[in-house]
Structure 1
Amino acid sequence: MGDFQDSADADRLAPVLRPVRAGNGFEETLEQILQVVRLGLVPQGERLPAERELAERLGVSRVTLREVLKVLTDQGLVESRRGRYGGTFVRYRPDPGHSNSGDELRRRIEKVDVEDILRFREVLEVGAAGLCAAHGLSEEQAERLRGALAATHEAPLADYRRQDTMLHLTLAELCGSPSLAAQYAAVRATVNDLLDCIPLLVRNLEHSQQQHSALVEAVLEGDADAAREVMREHCGGTAALLRGFLS
C-alpha cells in the first residue's frame, strides 16, 4: 500500500491540494479531497496522506478535516483502518456504469454545462443581493425576507432545500428586476437538479445558515458591499460541493 511518505508520491497531489479560503473551509476541503479520489490521484485501495499532512497542505484544522473524511466515509468513498498500517484508504468501487444512481447522475448532468450554470447563478445572486441592499426594502418586504430566513432555520432536513430555494427566490424577487428574478428562477431549477445528485451535509447546512443570516442582516442594513460579498462566498461554497461531487 502506498503511504505517501515518499515525496514523489506526494507530488501527485500537488495540482489539487492547495490552501483553502477561510470562508468555505469545509466545502473547499471536501471538494479537493473528492477531486483527489475521483481523479484517481490516490488509486483505489491506497492510503490518503496522513491527517496532519492533509490539514497542513489544505490550511484547515484537524477537526474540519475529520468532518470531511467522515462525509467521504459515509458516502462509501473511503474507509478508516486502525493499527500500525492504518489510515484512511480509498475504497474499491464497482463500475459506475452498473449503478442506477450513477446512471441517474449522468442523465442529469450530461446536458448541463455545470460551470456555466454556477457562474451565471453567482452573477444573478450577487447582483440581486446588492440591489436589495442598495435600494432598500419596505417594511413589508423586509418581513418577507425575515420570514423566508426563519423558515430555513425551522425546516426539517427533508424540507431544507425547498425552504432554501424559497429564501433565494424571495431575494431575487425583491431586487426590483422582474427579468433578473425570472432568469434566476430558471437557473435555480437547474441548480436544484444538480443538488439533488449530492448528499445533504449537516456541516454545510449549518455553514449556509450562518451565511444566510449574515446576508439578510447586510441587506436589511443597506450594506450593499457586504451583501454582495456574503452572497459571493455563499455561492462559492455551493459551487465547491457541486464541483467536488459532479466533476
Structure 2
Amino acid sequence: MRPNGRPDDGGGAAGTGAARRAVFTPVDTRARVDTVVRRIGDAIELGLLADGEQLPGETDLAGQLGVSTVTLREALMALRQQGLVTTRRGRGGGSFVTLPDSPPEERLRARLADWSTEELRDLGDHWAAVSGAAALLAARRTQPGDLRPLTRTVEELAAAGDPATRSRLYGRFHVELAAAAQSARLTREEIALQTDLGALLCLVLDDPVHLGNVSDRHRAVISAVQDEADERARTLAETCVRESVGRLIALRLGTPGRAPEPRPEEDTHGQEHRARGPRGGHR
C-alpha cells in the first residue's frame, strides 16, 4: 500500500500518458501566443506528441488549453513557421505534428557558446532540484504500473543510435518521472527545462561510455522508486542531471566565444525560462 492509500494493483496510467495529459492542461490565464507555442513545441520536440500525430480540432484544443481560438490559431501559425506543425486542408485535414530535424553539431556548439558557465551551473541546479523532487515524490506516490513508460524509455535510450534521439529520450525520462510523481506542475517544468538544455545534451550523449552511465543511473532511479526509497531516488536523479550538466560546462569551457549578458528571466512557474535565440529543441 502506498502512502496515499491506493493499493499496489499495478493499475494507473502515468508516465507518458500523464505527461501527454500535462501538455493539454490549461496554460496560465495570462497566457500569450508564445506560451501556447512553447507548450506544444516543447512536447513535440520531446517526442510526447508523435511525428504525424493529428492535434485535436481547434475548438477542442483551445478549450483544453484554456485560450481563445484566435490565440490558438496564431500559435499554430507560429508552429507551422517553425516547421513543427503541418496543416492539411480538405477531408481528413487538420494540424499534424512534424518532428524536427537534428541540428548540426556546429550549430549546437554555437548555441552552447551563448551560455556562460555560471548560467549553465545555475540552470543545472534548478533542473537537479526539479528532477530530485520528482523522483522523491514518485517513490512516495507511484504505482508499479506507472513505471512501465520509464522502463521502456530507458531501454530505448540505451539502444538509441544517434545523439539527437538519445537526448530526446533522456529528456522524456525526466518528464515521465515527474508525471509518475503525479505533479502536473513538475511535469510542465521538466518539459520547459528541456527547451533550454535538451538539444545541447546531444553534445555529451555521443559518448557511449556516458550513455551507458546515464542508462544505468536511470535504471537505478526506477529501482529506488519501486523500493519506495524516496531519498535514494532523489539523490540518484539529482546526480544524473548534475553529471550531464557538468559535462556541458566542461565543453563550454573549451568552446571559444563569449556569452552575452544575461537577459531578464520570466517567472518559471510553468512559463518559459528565457527567450534565447532559436528554439532549444532538436532542429
CA contact (8 A) 1:129 1:175 kept: yes
Q: Give how far 1:130 is off.
A: 0.5
- CA offset digits 1:47-90 (Å, max 9, x no partner): xxxxxxxxxxxxxxxxxxxxxxxxxxxxxxxxxxxxxxxxxxxx
**1:169 matched to 2:175:** yes
Q: Give how far 1:167 is off.
A: 1.5
Per the normalisation by structure 2, the TM-score is 0.47
CA contact (8 A) 1:128 1:171 kept: yes
Q: Distance in 1 between matches of 2:122 and 2:183?
A: 22
With over 3 angstroms needed to count, the CA separation of the structure-2 counterparts of 1:183 and 1:109, relative to structure 1, is farther
Q: Which has the higher helix share?
A: 1
How many residues align? The count is 147
CA contact (8 A) 2:175 2:190 kept: yes
Q: Which blocks of at least 5 consecutive residues in structure 1 are unaligned?
A: 1-99
Question: Among residues 97, 105, 110, which one is paired with 2:109 in the alignment?
Answer: 105
With over 3 angstroms needed to count, the CA separation of the structure-2 counterparts of 1:165 and 1:103, relative to structure 1, is closer
CA contact (8 A) 1:121 1:188 kept: no
Question: 1:44 aligns to what?
Answer: none
Q: Give how far 1:149 is off.
A: 2.2
Question: 1:182 aligns to what?
Answer: 188
Q: Which blocks of at least 5 consecutive residues in structure 2 are unaligned?
A: 1-103, 254-283
With over 3 angstroms needed to count, the CA separation of the structure-2 counterparts of 1:232 and 1:107, relative to structure 1, is closer
Question: Among residues 138, 145, 153, which one is paired with 1:140 in the alignment?
Answer: 145
Question: 1:231 aligns to what?
Answer: 237
With over 3 angstroms needed to count, the CA separation of the structure-2 counterparts of 1:198 and 1:155, relative to structure 1, is closer
Q: Distance in 2 between matches of 1:212 and 1:186?
A: 20
With over 3 angstroms needed to count, the CA separation of the structure-2 counterparts of 1:217 and 1:107, relative to structure 1, is closer
With over 3 angstroms needed to count, the CA separation of the structure-2 counterparts of 1:155 and 1:197, relative to structure 1, is closer
Per the normalisation by structure 1, the TM-score is 0.53
**Structure 2 residue identity aligned to 1:173:** A
CA contact (8 A) 2:204 2:210 kept: no
Question: 1:16 aligns to what?
Answer: none
1:176 aligns to what SS in structure 2?
coil
Question: 1:156 aligns to what?
Answer: 161
Q: Give how far 1:103 is off.
A: 7.1
Q: Give how far 1:157 is off.
A: 3.4
Q: Distance in 1 between matches of 2:180 and 2:248?
A: 27
Q: Distance in 2 between matches of 1:108 and 1:210?
A: 26
Question: 1:30 aligns to what?
Answer: none
Question: Among residues 108, 118, 122, which one is paired with 1:116 in the alignment?
Answer: 122
**Structure 2 residue identity aligned to 1:189:** T
Q: Give how far 1:141 is off.
A: 0.9
- What pairs up with 1:1-247 in 2 under 5 angstroms? 105-110=109-114, 113-135=119-141, 137-158=142-163, 159-198=165-204, 200-247=206-253
With over 3 angstroms needed to count, the CA separation of the structure-2 counterparts of 1:109 and 1:182, relative to structure 1, is farther
Q: Distance in 2 between matches of 1:199 and 1:155?
A: 10
Q: Which has the larger radius of gyration?
A: 1
CA contact (8 A) 1:208 1:234 kept: yes
- CA offset digits 1:117-158 (Å, max 9, x no partner): 1111011000100110022x2243122222222222332234
Question: 1:74 aligns to what?
Answer: none
Q: Distance in 2 between matches of 1:199 and 1:208?
A: 9
With over 3 angstroms needed to count, the CA separation of the structure-2 counterparts of 1:139 and 1:232, relative to structure 1, is closer
Q: Distance in 2 between matches of 1:145 and 1:114?
A: 26
Q: CA RMSD in A?
A: 2.4
Q: Give how far 1:108 is off.
A: 4.7
